[in-house]
């Protein structure tokens, strides 16, 4: 854990130390590891602590109708539209301390840096910590950023967690109402842009010696549920040539997914991350297997082509092995390009502070930014993380990298201000 010396000024060191402070109880629902699910006790304690830090940084703090923490640093004029800086505050079970939370802390430090200098903008800056990006409690993800972006659509909010606690009951524990959940939606005219700093969750920046990277796009994603149905039988009496082994078929299918995912391009990935075998006893030939398939690529067409090839390959295996196959699409997230103007400003800011041409890369992981892009233009800054490890207690960052990221964020905001036109918009490339 990073120990923070007695200091009040904004810094990357303080951002890291605060993430460390929030990595243990009471900011976790578990005593021996970090688990901060949406609307849990750890979430409540975390919001109280973040609100205090936001206030110290010169912001007013509130919790919106969806349970997101929002700090506002007013502009030169009241009711000015806002530049949003944020990420998520929830975590997966036994997760790392910096995934999501570091982006929120960097937002607070960015505001604190300008507040210490008495600098106000022709726009407001808001720092937002989304409550539910991971989907680690209820069976949906990015629920609260979808509420803010106003894109819940026909989402059924009659949700319940594994313990049977409904979303309505969980919200009530926070003094919030399910009927007002949609009130978290922001108006387009009130939000200028959304910027998210996040650990890379991959090894590229570290392998290439870059502290920071600029995200050009967030990968398109498909998630499938595959169910393979064979015939269960006694392991000692069912002859090998007569078997319709669902697990053996599924194993071949998993290798096909891996093979197709490895055909390229570089940003194409395909993963089987979960498998359930029935009946799941040593002396019975498996009769049913359910497994997940996750397919991602920076370009939707690449993802679609790979998914089609996977469908064909799995159907061929099922036919040859005389097993049933049911393949159901569970999630379809389109590729999300980051705004070209904002990305250029971020790249220039990174070059300002590092003196080097920034590494541009596609995010294979999903982020709240891909939802917020439906409300406003977005940009993302990546920080390298040790070994590319994320969603794990070994998740780690270098304090110097976080300090560099803070400098890049303040340089970005300064450049953003300079692009602000008299009409109150960010100039496009054509207008410059």
Which residue ranges are tagged as binding site for Zn(2+)? 88, 99, 134, 198, 391
How far is the C-alpha of 259 from the C-alpha of 307, rounded, in Å? Answer: 12
Rg (CA), the chain: 23
| DSSP notation for 253-298 | HHHHHHHHHTTS-TT-EEE---EEEES--TTEE--EEEEEEEEEES
CA 416, 417, 421: angle at the middle one, nearest 5? 100
**3-state secondary structure at position 238:** coil
Nearest to 100 by CA among 114, 117, 87, 116: 87
**3-state secondary structure at position 64:** coil
How far is the C-alpha of 140 from the C-alpha of 37, rounded, in Å? Answer: 12
How far is the C-alpha of 311 from the C-alpha of 29, rounded, in Å? Answer: 40
By the 8 A CB rule, do 417 and 411 touch? no
Which pair of tokens denotes residue 49?
């602590």
Q: Are strands 378-383 and 191-199 parallel, antiparallel or unpaired?
A: parallel
What is residue 166's DSSP assignment? B
By the 8 A CB rule, do 82 and 111 touch? no
**3-state secondary structure at position 311:** helix
Which pair of tokens denotes residue 77?
């004029």
Q: What is the CB neighbour count within 10 angstroms for residue 58?
A: 19
Which pair of tokens denotes residue 33?
């590891």
By the 8 A CB rule, do 161 and 140 touch? no
Annotated binding site: 88, 99, 134, 198, 223, 283, 296, 391
Annotated binding site for allantoate: 223, 283, 296
How far is the C-alpha of 109 from the C-alpha of 41, rounded, in Å? Answer: 25
Q: Report the greatest alpha carbon distance in the chain.
A: 82
Point out which residues pair with 297 in neighbouring strands: 220
């Amino acid at each position: 854990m990073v120990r923070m010396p007695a200091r009040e000024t904004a810094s990357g060191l303080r951002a890291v130390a605060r993430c460390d402070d929030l990595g243990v109880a009471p900011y976790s629902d578990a005593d021996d590891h970090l688990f901060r699910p949406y609307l849990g006790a750890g979430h409540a304690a975390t919001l109280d602590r973040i609100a205090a830090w936001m206030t110290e940084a010169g912001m007013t703090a509130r919790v919106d109708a969806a349970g997101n923490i929002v700090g506002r640093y007013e502009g030169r004029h009241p009711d000015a539209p806002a530049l949003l800086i944020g990420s998520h505050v929830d975590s997966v079970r036994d997760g790392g301390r910096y995934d999501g939370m570091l982006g929120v802390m960097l937002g607070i430090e960015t505001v604190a840096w300008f507040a210490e200098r008495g600098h106000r903008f022709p726009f407001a800056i808001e720092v937002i910590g989304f409550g539910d990006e991971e989907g680690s409690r209820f069976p949906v993800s990015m629920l609260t950023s979808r509420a803010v972006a106003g894109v819940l659509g026909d989402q059924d909010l009659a949700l319940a967690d594994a313990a049977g606690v409904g979303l309505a009951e969980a919200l009530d524990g926070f003094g919030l109402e399910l009927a007002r959940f949609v009130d978290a939606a922001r108006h387009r005219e009130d939000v200028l842009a959304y910027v998210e700093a996040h650990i890379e969750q991959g090894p590229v920046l570290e392998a290439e010696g870059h502290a920071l990277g600029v995200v050009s796009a967030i990968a398109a994603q498909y998630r499938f549920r595959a169910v393979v149905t064979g015939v269960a039988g006694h392991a000692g009496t069912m002859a090998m040539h007569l078997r319709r082994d669902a697990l053996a078929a599924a194993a071949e299918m998993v290798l096909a997914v891996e093979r197709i995912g490895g055909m390229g391009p570089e940003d194409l990935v395909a993963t089987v991350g979960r498998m359930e075998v029935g009946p799941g006893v040593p002396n019975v030939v498996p009769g049913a297997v359910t497994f997940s398939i996750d397919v991602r690529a920076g370009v939707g067409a690449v993802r679609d082509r790979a998914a089609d090839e996977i469908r064909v390959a799995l159907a061929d295996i099922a036919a040859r092995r005389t097993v049933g196959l049911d393949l159901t699409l569970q999630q379809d997230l389109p590729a999300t390009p980051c705004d070209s103007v904002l990305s250029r400003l971020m790249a220039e800011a990174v070059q300002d502070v590092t003196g080097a041409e920034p590494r541009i890369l596609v995010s294979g992981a999903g982020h709240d930014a891909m939802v917020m892009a439906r409300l406003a233009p977005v940009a993302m800054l990546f920080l390298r993380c040790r070994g590319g490890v994320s969603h794990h207690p070994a998740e780690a960052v270098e304090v110097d990298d976080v300090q560099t990221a803070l400098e890049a964020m303040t340089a970005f905001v300064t450049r953003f201000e300079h692009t602000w036109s008299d009409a109150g918009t960010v100039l496009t490339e054509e207008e410059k």
